[in-house]
A and B are shown apart, each in its own frame.
Chain A
Amino acid sequence: MAEILVLVDHVDGAVRKTTLELLTLARRAGEPAAVFLGTGFDAARDTLGEYGAAKVYVVEAPELEQYLVVPKAEALAQIAQSSGAAGVLLTSSPEGKEIAARLAVKLGSGVITDAIDITVVASEIVTTQSVFAGGYTVTAQVTRGTPVITVKPNAVTPEATGGSVGAEEKVAVAFSDAATKARIVDRKPRAATGRPELTEASIVVSGGRGTGGDFAPVEALADALGAAVGASRAAVDSGWYPHAYQVGQTGKTVSPQLYLACGISGAIQHRAGMQTSKTIVVVNKDPEAPIFAMADFGVVGDLHTVLPQATAEIQKRKG
């Protein structure tokens, strides 16, 4: 069976959940092989093996950390070519898309972004995408070259195989002049919140203008549910919550099991970022708010009383 390359998304060897999802999807299409770029592979080995990476390509080079994206694209292109892989899967993050874009041009291959599912039809990889702010579902396939596909977080539940990495191949890459044109001169890690990563979380509680600037009830409900916190652009633009937590067209796209929209009206740009959530719950004091049209469950009421009551009830039920 041909190899399906999975680019590992990691921070110093801590593998992100999206990578485990990609490995799970890759198994449908071929033999998953992980591509690990940068330092920290020892910390990642067991996890990658456990989720089905029979083989891992490892590239360690200072350029991968010093320069933006291009060294990663060059390394991945080299491995895709030498391994004769049948496809390359990456996470639909800004970085994943940039790498995919350059990789597709280098390989002369078609690219599909933001897949929410992957199936195999007559031994071809077929993707499912949700387009036009979730209004349409489209299935597509790459018809030339090695399919380069970026997949949204939460496309699938990661399934462990209980395997281990059988083969490790260290790859040396000679980077081109083009690889060193954009230098990373400073890097400030984002402060940890103790909550799950927004794009990976299975529950997201979001607040909008209706919070009036007080996110405490939103955060308390999120913590009771073990959820991530999100925000509408109106809340972000008002300076109530950092931009990194904005959900929508120009923020993060989330696709959790459960999305709670609190004091959010449901503008199309917001819906674009959460429409593929499995279950949607709304708290809004205006019964005419468009967001109710997509709610599985809604409460017409003031979030400042409804959320604390829900939080207390959840804590009571959890004992």
Chain B
Amino acid sequence: MGAAPASRNPPGLGGRNPAMKIVTLVKHVPDATADRTFNAADNTTDRAGVDGLLSELDEYAVEEALKIAEAGDGVEIVALTMGPDGADAALKKALQMGADSGVHVVDDALHGSDALATAQVLAAAIAKVGDVDLVLTGMASTDGSMSVVPAMLAEHLGLAHVGFVGELTVSGATVTARRDGDVASETIEADLPAVVSVTDQINEPRYPSFKGIMAAKKKPVETWTLADLGVDAGAVGLDAAFSVVREVTKRPERTAGTVVTDEGDGGVKLAEFLAAQKFI
């Protein structure tokens, strides 16, 4: 990315010039198996009252970066997250898996940011990391799950984006990706630098090893504010959001239906139910 600022020594690099620099995006999300809820005051996601973790689908992006690094020489992996205090837990997991360094973008002004603001801030952070060849992301976060941030990032950075990739190869300055769509399976070629979002079909993320966990403690993590990124605090956060939540309602528990135990006539009873409901 040619337009990166001059003072862009990426964290942990010490001036070394990697053959390839990968940024993997890691979002910190409330645990999906806990009771996720909203802040009553402003209808934003409750990120304090629920245990958080690295969005599971981002582990596939970290794993893919590690595979590329293992297959080549001089590949540098920077994990990047935007989120409140505590979101660096997502970075920690990425570092334990094997990423080289982390960047945590944190600023009180970011509370309640929508997808557009998130993408704008992440794009600015990627530009500040500098000389990035490949941005790897998950296919969707497990909380907002909009699947829009990667394409928005690419739009901001003027880069190609290949989404929902199930198989990826990097050779020279080109990525080749397979994506299995609704009506066809496509092979895509794009020039680096590019943004690629990966699905859970692409690999099997590793568990951090004991060695990885110990090594992660010494890996550098930088904390950047909006001022560090040159992003106007008034352009992000809840008040600047381009969309607003009007109302949040807890979905009523589905009323318990009829459950029968098969005593040789379970299939007939099932058909009777379908007929009574006019499905046959």
Chain A residues near B (Cβ < 8 Å): 11, 68-70, 73, 93-95, 97-98, 100-102, 104-106, 108-114, 126, 130, 132-145, 178, 181-190, 197, 199, 203, 225, 243-244, 249-250, 257-258, 268-269, 272, 279-283, 287, 292-302, 305-314, 317-318
Contact = CB atoms under 8 A, between A and B. Distances in A.
B223 to A, nearest CB: 27
Given A98-B163, A143-B244, A314-B271, A199 B259 contact: no
The SS class assigned to the A binding surface is mixed
Given A97-B146, A243-B201, A109 B242 contact: yes
Nearest to B196: A182
25 contacts: A68-B190, A69-B161, A101-B149, A102-B152, A104-B115, A106-B155, A136-B37, A136-B38, A137-B248, A139-B245, A182-B161, A182-B162, A189-B183, A225-B279, A279-B277, A281-B273, A293-B253, A296-B254, A296-B258, A297-B257, A299-B261, A299-B266, A311-B267, A317-B271, A318-B280
A126 B93 CA distance: 39
Contact of A140 (B149, B151, B184, B243): B243
Interface string B231-266: 000000000011111111111011011111110011
Interface residues on B, range: 35 or more
Contacts of A182: 160-162, 188-190, 194
Contacts of A94: 147, 163-164, 179, 181-182
B169 interface: no
B171 interface: no
Given A135-B250, A189-B184, A140 B244 contact: yes
B151 A101 contact: yes
Given A297-B257, A307-B267, 13 more contacts: A69-B161, A69-B163, A94-B179, A130-B251, A139-B246, A145-B242, A181-B190, A188-B186, A243-B166, A279-B279, A280-B257, A309-B267, A310-B268
A98 B161 CA distance: 9
Which interface residue of A94, A203, A272 has the most chain B CB atoms within 10 A?
Answer: A94
Contact of A299 (B114, B248, B270): B270
Interface in B124-178: 139-140, 142-143, 145-152, 154-156, 158-164, 166, 176
Contacts of B154: 102
Contacts of B265: 309
B269 interface: yes
Nearest to B115: A111
Contact of B267 (A141, A258, A295, A310): A310
B251 A135 contact: yes
A186 B188 CA distance: 7
Contact of B260 (A68, A197, A299): A299
Contacts of B164: 94
A261 B274 CA distance: 14
Contacts of A69: 151, 161, 163
B116 interface: yes
A269 B188 CA distance: 28
